[in-house]
Structure formats: C-alpha cells, structure tokens
C-alpha cells in the first residue's frame, strides 16, 4: 500500500519539486497552495504524512499544525521553512511537529526523512514489540490522556478543565455512559500540578459494599476475617495525586457519610486502625445519573452532593458534537489496526458518511467497538459499509422479517432521514426469504437470499438493488458471479430466488 502525502506550500516551484521527488519513491502526493486548501484536502481524504511550509497566506504553517494536531493527532507533520530559527524549531516541536526542516534541502534529505516518518506511522508491530508500547496501544480511549476535541462543545469542556486543573477543588463530571468522562478526568490530572503523582481510579459500581470500604480506605492486619495483611486503600495510594470515583452515584449511603468526612477533614480512617491518616488528594467523581434527582429520591446524600459539585463539568453525548466523529474514528482505526496486528486501513467515503449518520446511543464507547469490529472484518486497505454488511450486525430476526428490516437495522440512514427510493413493507413478497421457525441458516445464505429477493423486487436492476441494500453495484456484481449468475438476465436472477 502506497502512502499518501499532502504537501502544503505557496511556492509553485517547491510544490513541483516535492511532488517529483516523492512520487519517484512511489508515494501518492497531493499538493495544496495554503492552509485552507490543505484542511479541505484533509476533510475529504486520509493522508499518512503532512509536509507544510511555515509562511503562507490565510493560515500559517504553525496554525495549520495546531489544527491538525487537534483533529488528526496521530498524523505526523513535517514543518519546512526558509526562515528558521532555533525558537521556531522549538515552538514547532512543542506544538507536536514530527520534525523540522530548513530550506533549501537535498532530495536525499527529504527522501530519508519522509521514509523514516512513514515507517514510524505505518509500521505494524511485530511479535517482538516492546511490552510498554503494546500495553499503551491496548489501552481504550477511556484511559487516554489526550482527548480529541474538534467541536466547540468539547473544546469548552477542555477549556473549563484547564481552568480548574490547578485548583484543589473537588470536581464532578457528568455525562451519559460512554461519553469519555474518565478521559476528561485524566486530562484534568495531567494538566495539574499533581501530574507527576498517581492517578488512581475506582469503580464504585463494580464492588459490593463490604469490599468497597476496604478498597477505598484500606485496612489493618486482623481488622476482619481474612485480613491477614495490612493494605493501603485507594485514597492512600493516590496521596499527593488524584483519585477518580467512577459512578459515585452507586456508592452505598453508609459509605457516602464516610466519603463526606474524608472530603471535609482531608483524612481517612482505615478499617481497624487506631489513628487517622492525613491525606492530600484531589477527588474527581463521575456519574451518568442526574444527581439532583437522585438526591430527591433519597438515594444520595444532599450534603455530599454539594461537596462534590464544587466544579461541575458536563460531557456532551457524541450526537451533540458530531464534528468529533471522524477524528475519533481515525484514531480508533489506527489503534485497533495496531492492537490486532492488522495492516493500516483507511475509512472509505461511504463509511465516513455512514459514521456521521448514526445516533451512537452508546457514545464514544460504541463508536470504538464498532470500528474495532470493522478493522477485523473488512478486507483490503479500506473500511467500507459493504465490508461489514450483515457480519457486523448479527441480529436475531422475527420469522417473517422483511428484507428492509435488515437494511434498516444495518444502515438506518438509508430508510430514515435521507431521501432515496425505498420498498414499502407491503411491496415485499409474502414469501419470506429469511429463516422460518426451526430453520437454520448461515449468514452467507441469508445474504444470498436477501440479494436475490431484492433483485426480484426491482426487476433485476442492479443499481436499484445496490441502492436499497446500501452497497455498491460492484459488490452486487461480485456476489452474482459468486452465485454463478454472470449474464445479468433478470429472468435468471429471479429463478435463483427460491433456490
């Protein structure tokens, strides 16, 4: 797979020279005359490397670097300039540039540098990859310290987080499940004066009440049956750092009283201990509930609620900041290609449109799971809707489910909220092509029957069938060849429907 490189320079001669040198190495090279044109190219195509000049009209190279780091954080950027200083180089590297190059430079220099950056970018880890790199690659987005924030909504979240990061105030982060509340918590920790001290997380919903108290506050040897050794709790382990109380709303009422005392007195009482242990811990709590309503229902202490929400950060659901969907998607594709030892893949334009048209009720977590599945199922170097069609949506169907029921489940934008021809349920043949009660059928057979029934419904029109099924005409043609139907005859295609 040839790497795609975007060259941004307002000098026509430099554009031509770089295109010639890099194309000679087998790379696909696109040139843009300024930063605005470059952003337009990046919105419509995936690139593996960006080369940009510094002094350009409209948007400078440094401004372009800032925007690229926010939207495409894993794409390396090589900054070029004829007016370089040590200060400029330092600034570029601080902003996240992969390297800094002074003009003029030889063709051998740029060839060598581009090759090195692309090898780092496109390399698939081997079995001998370092354990630390492997562990880092395996971390889900929820443990990342670098939130992707292109949208105004998420930028406001990070701006507020930056404002309060250096304070000692307790912070409550609210948001639906899967929105990335832990990402924001880690961002706050990493931008505070505590960043060199521990960040400790505990899920309050994952442990029973008896274990949660010991987990939080620790215990002394012999404090209870089974306590054969003394053990530090999460609070003590997080001393001088930050403690994340994930889903704090699920904490039992008895423990809420003890937590309130810790927040007020800044000390803990380990189970069985004779004296209190003073602490310096920044507490960050998260919840996916409306804590105000939870207080009214008597499930959460009002005094603790006010103590926790000194600062409240609300993380919006993904459907309210759709500008982040594609940058997040590219990040997840890159990560899961690495984790699952797959060659680098790109999102096709059709897949990008599909991702933007989903509601993502499970938010960022659902998006990541979907893209990991896509990385594993799609063949070749592009991720396409047809590459995961059916296989990515194995849902049980009612005995008389219609063909459009599957299409709606897999590609809802094809039948809801977008113009385009659809077949009404009343127009579908009364003889279902799907399994009847007691009938077993493979996904391949279900796919074949669905394609053939669709072709029958539209009189053999492959373009129409492809549009209804949400796949390309080429996919329909390849499937028909696989079924032994190459003539394109509607009569022959109809004859196979009931086979």
Residue with tokens 């009283």: 257
Does the pLDDT at position 226 exceed 50? yes
Contacts of 131 (CB under 8 A, 6+ apart): none
Architecture per CATH, domain 154-315, reads as 3-Layer(aba) Sandwich (3.40)
Same fold, 4-122 and 323-383: no
Q: Which two tokens stand for residue 466?
A: 């492809």
Is 336 in contact with 372 (CB distance < 8 Å)?
Answer: yes
User: What residues does each domain of the chain span?
Assistant: 4-122, 154-315, 323-383, 403-497
Q: pTM higher than 0.85, yes or no?
A: no
- Cα distance between residue 117 and residue 259, in whole Å: 49
CATH 1.20.1260.10 describes domain 323-383: no
By CB atoms closer than 10 A (0-12, 13-18, 19+), residue 459 is exposed
Enumerate the β-bridge partners of residue 285. 172, 245
* Residue-wise pLDDT tens digits, 175-207: 999 999 999 999 999 888 888 889 999 888 877
List helix spans (H) across 24-95.
35-44, 61-71, 86-94
Asked if residues 415 and 399 have their Cβ atoms less than 8 Å apart, the reply is: no
Low-confidence winner among 220-224, 356-360, 406-410, 466-470 (lowest mean pLDDT): 406-410
Long-range contacts of 287-295 (CB under 8 A, 24+ apart): 287/172, 287/173, 287/174, 287/247, 287/248, 287/249, 288/174, 288/175, 288/176, 288/177, 288/181, 288/247, 288/249, 289/249, 291/172, 291/174, 291/249, 294/249
pLDDT higher than 50, residue 419: no
Count other Cβ atoms within 10 Å, centred on residue 375: 21
Residue position matching structure tokens 């070749």: 380
Residue 222 has pLDDT above 50, yes or no: yes
Q: Are 494 and 456 in contact (CB under 8 A)?
A: yes
pLDDT, position 442: 62
Backbone phi, then psi, for 112, in 5-degree steps?
-65, -40
Domain 4-122 homologous superfamily, CATH: Response regulator (3.40.50.2300)
């Amino acid at each position: 797979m040839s790497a795609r490189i975007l060259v941004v320079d307002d000098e026509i001669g430099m554009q031509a020279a770089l295109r010639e040198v890099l194309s000679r190495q087998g790379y696909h090279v696109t040139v843009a005359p300024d930063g605005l044109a470059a952003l337009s190219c990046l919105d419509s195509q995936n690139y593996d490397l960006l080369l940009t000049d510094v002094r350009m009209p409209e948007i400078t190279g440094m401004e372009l670097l800032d925007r690229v780091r926010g939207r495409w954080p894993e794409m390396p950027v090589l900054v070029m300039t004829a007016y370089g200083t040590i200060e400029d180089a330092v600034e570029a590297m601080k902003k996240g540039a992969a390297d800094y190059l002074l003009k003029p430079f030889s063709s051998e220099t740029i060839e060598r540098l581009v090759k090195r950056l692309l090898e780092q970018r496109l390399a698939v880890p081997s079995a001998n990859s370092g354990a630390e790199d492997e562990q880092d690659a395996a971390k889900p987005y929820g443990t990342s310290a670098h939130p992707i924030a292109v949208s105004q909504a998420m930028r406001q979240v990070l701006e507020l987080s930056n404002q309060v990061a250096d304070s000692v105030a307790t912070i409550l982060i609210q948001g639906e499940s899967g929105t990335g509340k832990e990402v924001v918590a880690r961002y706050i920790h990493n931008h505070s004066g505590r960043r060199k001290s521990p960040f400790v997380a505990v899920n309050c919903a994952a442990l029973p009440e008896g274990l949660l108290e010991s987990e939080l506050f620790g215990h002394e040897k012999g404090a209870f049956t089974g306590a054969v050794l003394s053990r530090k709790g999460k609070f003590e382990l997080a001393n001088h750092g930050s403690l994340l109380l994930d889903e704090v709303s699920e904490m039992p009422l008895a423990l809420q009283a003890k937590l309130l005392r810790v927040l007020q007195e800044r000390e803990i009482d380990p189970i069985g201990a004779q004296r209190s242990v003073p602490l310096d811990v920044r507490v960050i709590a998260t919840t996916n509930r409306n804590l105000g309503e939870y207080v009214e229902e008597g499930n959460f202490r009002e005094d603790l609620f006010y103590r926790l929400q000194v600062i409240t950060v609300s993380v919006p659901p993904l459907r309210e900041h759709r500008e982040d969907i594609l940058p997040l998607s590219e990040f997840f594709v890159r990560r899961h290609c690495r984790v699952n030892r797959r060659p680098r893949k790109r999102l096709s334009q059709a897949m990008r449109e599909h991702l933007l048209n989903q509601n993502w009720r499970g938010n960022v977590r659902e998006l990541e799971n979907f893209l990991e599945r896509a990385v594993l199922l799609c063949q070749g170097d592009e991720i396409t809707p047809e590459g995961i069609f059916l296989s990515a949506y194995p849902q049980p169907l009612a005995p008389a489910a219609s063909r459009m029921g599957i299409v709606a489940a897999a590609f809802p934008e094809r039948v809801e909220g977008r113009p385009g021809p659809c077949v009404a349920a009343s127009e579908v043949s009364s003889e279902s092509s799907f399994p009847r009660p007691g009938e077993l059928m493979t996904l391949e057979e279900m796919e074949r029957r669905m394609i053939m029934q669709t072709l029958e419904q539209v009189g053999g029109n492959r373009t129409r069938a492809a549009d209804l099924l949400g796949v390309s005409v080429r996919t329909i043609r390849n499937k028909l060849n696989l079924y032994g139907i190459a003539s394109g005859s509607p009569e022959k295609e109809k004859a196979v429907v009931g086979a």
